[in-house]
Homo-oligomer: A and B are copies of this chain.
């Protein structure tokens, strides 16, 4: 473990660490959230898939090229902070006189269950992503959960085939945009979805059979996120099971999936190694970042990390599953 973690720990500043990283582009929402959990509530806090992806990935790769849209109600101080934390905001559209995407949700004692209380699309309703010239040769691309048409629009603007394209999606698009979704699937390398979504997408209950079916739709890699039960990585007939770290208190699961994607793609862009061994490491990096994310509301915990904390958490994952006969 020591050798590889040198990537993370031998350098004092994240800047120097990232000198040889590939470029990472992330598409998704930058938004406001209202969140209720059994442990409290947070109002109009910073959220959005792209925010979580960017913050998580920033521990491995900088800059993270953001493609998103906000209204002029979004605090400039937050944008400045994101920039300080490695976000390249050239591809962030700011719409004058419009409001940012807003989501309100409530979680229950079983934090795997949640209700959406309100969704205001606002600027997202007519989002047409435009890639600045400087983004068009990005080597790693993370398509956050958005309408498949927007995901396609991003892929269409890339000038070279990236080294790796990953996408997230959700059941809503399976219900309403099946054909577009299949088109995106044919053009990506990695799909990250949760277990229920994998079952719906494939029509198979067994995750092993679901994976076989989904890997025939296009992606070479499938990551099935199972929340507190960990994550599975499928590739051909190979299979990796990353546990989730059992935590005494999960305060707010919002963004955990996007944080996973950010850690996963951040590690890959940083190492530029697509071997199955390194994909396994990427899943652990994603899981480690996600395990931090849920410890506080919104992106709060993601703002507090450093290489040492991440390295320590990765060691906990290694100890958690360690056995030797």
A321 neighbours in B (Cβ, 8 Å): 240-243, 321
Q: How far is the CA of A284 from the CA of B325 in the complex (A)?
A: 10
Within 8 A of B (CB), among A101-127: 109-110
CB of A76 within 8 A of chain B? no
For A, the interface residue count at a CB cutoff of 8 angstroms equals 39
Within 8 A of B (CB), among A229-261: 229-230, 232, 239-243, 246-250
Chain B, residue nearest A229 (CB) = B229
Flag if B325 contacts A4 (CB, 8 Å). yes
A3 neighbours in B (Cβ, 8 Å): 325
Chain B, residue nearest A282 (CB) = B323
CB of A130 within 8 A of chain B? no
A249 and B110 contact, Cβ closer than 8 Å, known pairs A240-B320, A323-B280, A324-B1? no
Stretch at the interface among A60-68, A80-88, A205-213, A298-306: A205-213
- In the complex, the count of this chain's copies comes to 2
Q: How far is the CA of A239 from the CA of B317 in the complex (A)?
A: 10
Within 8 A of B (CB), among A281-325: 281, 283-284, 314, 318, 320-325
Flag if B325 contacts A247 (CB, 8 Å). no
Partner pick for A320 among B5, B241, B314, CB 8 A cutoff: B241
A1 neighbours in B (Cβ, 8 Å): 324-325
A281 neighbours in B (Cβ, 8 Å): 323-325
Flag if B246 contacts A207 (CB, 8 Å). yes
Specify which of A206, A239, A247, A325 lies most central, judged by the most chain B CB atoms within 10 Å of its CB. Answer: A325
A109 and B249 contact, Cβ closer than 8 Å, known pairs A243-B230, A280-B323, A323-B284? no
A137 neighbours in B (Cβ, 8 Å): none
CB of A226 within 8 A of chain B? yes
A114 to chain B minimum Cβ distance, whole angstroms, is 15
A294 to chain B minimum Cβ distance, whole angstroms, is 12
A266 to chain B minimum Cβ distance, whole angstroms, is 15
Q: How far is the CA of A23 from the CA of B257 in the complex (A)?
A: 48
A324 neighbours in B (Cβ, 8 Å): 1, 4, 277, 281
